[in-house]
Amino acid sequence: MSTFSIFLFLILIVAFLLVLAIMVQNPKGGGLSSSFGGGSNQVVGGVQKTGDFLDKSTWTLATLLIVLILLSNTAIKTGSGSSDSKLLEGQKVDNVLPDTPVNTTPDSTSQE
């Protein structure tokens, strides 16, 4: 498994977690924190203010996603072998099209 594949797998996991973290939040301030009793200072699972936890986790996941994307760029193999285009390498390109006559259609004015 290449390094780029590992980065790609991690990017997909972080993106999925980021979508979940965003979907759990309520844009009007309720969200997950209001479904556990409605109190903003209530302790849920050892975390005070679940809204603050979700906000911090969203920013953390978004930052992690950007860092992983930037790091994955370094893992892409640069063209150490031959590239797809010989023109970019400055090599002579053979004629890839077969020789065709210039005028293959009969001239309609010369027909009698």
Q: Give which of 63, 60, 75, 65 is closest to 6, Cα–Cα.
A: 75
pLDDT tens track for 17-57 = 999 998 888 776 555 555 555 555 444 455 457 778 888 99
Q: Which residue range forms the structural domain that includes residue 9?
A: 1-18+47-76
Classify residue 102 by its DSSP letter.
S
- 34 in a structural domain: no
- 111 in a structural domain: no
- 106 in a structural domain: no
Q: Mean pLDDT highest for which of 3-7, 22-26, 29-33, 61-65?
A: 61-65
Contact 51, 29 (CB under 8 A): yes
What is the Cα gyration radius of the chain?
A: 30
- 97 in a structural domain: no
Residue 78: which pLDDT band, with cuts at 50, 70 and 90? low
What's the confidence (pLDDT) of residue 47? 47
What's the confidence (pLDDT) of residue 26? 72
Contact 73, 11 (CB under 8 A): no
Place of tokens 């309520």: 26
Structural domains counted in the chain: 1
What's the confidence (pLDDT) of residue 71? 92
